[in-house]
Amino acid sequence: MINIKNGQICFNKQVFLDNINISLPKNKFTLMLGPNGSGKTSLLNIIGGVTKLSKGLFSNSFTKTILIPQNTSYPQDITLFEYLSSIYYDSNWKWSLSKKEENEIYFILNKLNIADKKDLLMNQLSSGELQIANTGLCLLSKADFIILDEPGSNLDIINQIMLLDILKQLTTQNISILGVMHDLNLAAKYGDYFISVSRKGKVCSGSQEEIFSSQNLTDVYNYNINVVEVNNEILAHPKIK
């Protein structure tokens, strides 16, 4: 569980986000929505424990949290397999991988559909594949709370769906996930719980019904957005003039 009470985020003594009250449910797929520059990443950093609230209470009851930032550097000159194996060298005197660890990496590679790329160097992979690789790191890290800043930004629509399916499936294995998502329709389909950060710095959280209303989304994006329900699927359409 993550709890934030009366949180406030300031930059250079200027209030950026105020009155943040969030409690994230356990074992759910939570998605964060909001326009660029509204403060989603700042909020993620607070939740991930990278930075601290300027004011207010924050508590994290997960045993291990991992946060994958939006832009990360990748070591060159190693293969995808070696990249994923990096995570096991966290202990000292670790001169070789055990068979079990190797198998675990193969399992993850297969699960993410990148097993055929395992011997390619990191600079030969596309940026989408690199993002998937980072998700692989999350799965290997044994974290029970995974925070992903725009995990799907470089992925094609099929890979986005594949990734979201995997993440959704993880929530049944005692893992909670928080991600930033810009595709409203996919978000509505996959998310269990939502946080919206509006352009004016208002933070709301709630279930699908609470967040996905035309009124709320229009407020969040400061743009006319129409939410309709077709065959039990929620579709959000920005009005294009």
Partner 1 sequence: MIKIQQKKVITITICIIVFLASLFLSVMYGGMPISLKDLTDWFLGVQTDNAYIIELFRLPRAIKAIIAGSCLAISGLYMQTITKNPIVDPYITGISAGAGIALVLGVLFDISPFYYPVLGFAGGLLVSLLVICFVGVNRFSLAKLVLVGISVNLLISSIISLLILLNRNKAHNMILILSGNLNSSLFVYESLYIIFAVIMIFCLYITPKLNFLRLDHNIASSISTKSKTYNILFLVLSSALASLSVCAAGILGFIGIIIPHICRQLFGLDFRWLFFAALLLGPSLILLSDYVARSVVYPTELPIGIIISILGAPLFIIFILIKGKKFL
Residue ranges binding partner 1 (CB under 8 A)? 48, 50, 65-69, 72-79, 81-82, 85-90, 92-96, 119, 134, 137, 141, 143
CB 148 within 8 A of CB 68: yes
Residue closer to partner 1 by CB (options 36, 93) is 93
Residue closer to partner 1 by CB (options 97, 234) is 97
Place of tokens 């399916």: 165
Nearest distance, CB of residue 236 and partner 1, angstroms = 31
Residue closer to partner 1 by CB (options 116, 119) is 119
Nearest distance, CB of residue 86 and partner 1, angstroms = 5
Nearest distance, CB of residue 94 and partner 1, angstroms = 4
Q: How far apart are CA 239 and CA 220, in angstroms?
A: 14
Q: How far apart are CA 92 and CA 21, in angstroms?
A: 41
Nearest distance, CB of residue 55 and partner 1, angstroms = 21
Residue closer to partner 1 by CB (options 66, 227) is 66
The secondary structure of 149-194 as a DSSP string is SSTTTT--HHHHHHHHHHHHHHGGGT-EEEEE---HHHHHHH-SEE
The Cβ of residue 173 has, within 10 Å, a number of other Cβ atoms equal to 8
